Amino acid sequence: MDASTVNQVVGMDLGDKYSVLCTLDEAGEIFEESRIRTTSAGVAARFEHLSACRVVLEAGTHSPWVSRQIESYGHEVIVANPRRVALIYGDHTKSDEIDARTLAKLGRMDPELLSPIRHRGAETLAHRAVLTARTAMVRSRARLIQVARGITKSHGQRLPSCGANGFAGKVKDKIPAELAPALIPLVEIIDDLTRRIRVQDREIERICEETYPDTALLRQIGGVGAVTALRFVLTLEDPYRFTSSRSVASYLGLRPRRSQSGGSDPQMRITKAGDREMRRLLVQSAHYILGPFGKDCDLRRFGERLAARGGKSGKKRAVVAVARKLAVLLHRLWVTGETYEPLRNGNKMKIAA
């Protein structure tokens, strides 16, 4: 569907309670400006009986379900990436009405200017919600543990050192009497969160086994557990949409930025594009691979070589580089279904020698 065949284009600026619409006619003139409630009933009332048209909206909290519902009525839906469209995020006279008009005009002229994205399926989003809920619980527990330790230190005492999973059981009998009213409720909440996190972990294992058996291929790598493997599969959703495994690292924001001009080509930080939590998990796995419990493998040897010649920030750069290579390797294992060989490159070097 191009500009010459579009009957109507609707720009839709999604809001939490109301969404603003701007409709362009065949000539590209504003035909109607209105607003609807951002509810399933509101979307249905506006689009269910409307003749097939192109609807343009921004990616956001409501865009996944709104785009699916509008598509179910036979409309073409384009979801714009607001971070890539300067006319949207950089407008100094920004308003819902102006955003709706901008979306409609860009969608009619050339949808590629909107850097359109594709939302994940409903089942994928539901499974990602399990991971998101677990992450929230883990972070809440860590914060509460930090508060408990801080309160104790401020009174000249310390709680025993231990991991988060065993915190409640180990410190419950070590709480100073004068701090019991403050700390016992915290410890009880921490204990409850630990139990609930274990329940989530079992659910994640079940999802991996029953719905995403390919995660077993990814978990062959030491340091990659069920949470990381499942998040990787749900983030990429379709591994074959990437032309090469190397492009996965860029998709996850692990590729260095570049600002080359003339003879200047400075070394820059990574882009940090894409899924932040997935990138954090990859970096966490890289820390494990390079840490005291990491087994000997090509990834570890690669990271150690970088760290050895990198100066002060060598270890940090090595961790990010290993995370980048890990992303590529995970995608490769997923696509090929191969058995992971920890020292594949090392063995090749031995044979060549």
Residue 294 neighbours by CB distance under 10 Å? 19
Please determine, for residue 278, whether its predicted confidence score (pLDDT) is greater than 60: yes
d(CA 21, CA 47): 11
pLDDT-above-70 percentage for the chain: 91
Q: Which residue has the higher pLDDT, 313 or 244?
A: 244
Residue 176 neighbours by CB distance under 10 Å? 14
Chosen CATH of 9-114 out of 3.30.420.40, 1.25.50.10, 3.40.50.450, 3.30.2130.10: 3.30.420.40
Mean predicted lDDT score pLDDT of the chain: 91
pLDDT digits (tens, 9 = 90+) for 88-116: 666 556 789 999 999 999 999 988 988 89
Tokens representing residue 251 in the block: 């998709």
- Whether 343 and 298 have beta carbons less than 8 Å apart is answered as yes
Tokens representing residue 23 in the block: 């409709």
Query: How confident is the model at residue 265, as a pLDDT?
Result: 47
The C-alpha torsion from 86 through 91 and 94 to 96, rounded to 10°, is -30
| Secondary structure (3-state) at 8 | coil
pLDDT digits (tens, 9 = 90+) for 179-191: 999 999 999 999 9
Orientation angle between helical segments 314-336 and 276-290, nearest 10 degrees:
110
d(CA 7, CA 2): 10
Q: How confident is the model at residue 347 (pLDDT cuts 50, 70, 90)?
A: low
DSSP string, 161-201: P--STTHHHHHTTSS-GGGHHHHHHHHHHHHHHHHHHHHHH
> Could you tell me which of 284, 146, 144, 138 has the C-alpha nearest to residue 198?
138
Tokens representing residue 247 in the block: 């492009």
Domain residue ranges of the chain, discontinuous segments joined by +: 9-114, 123-211, 216-347
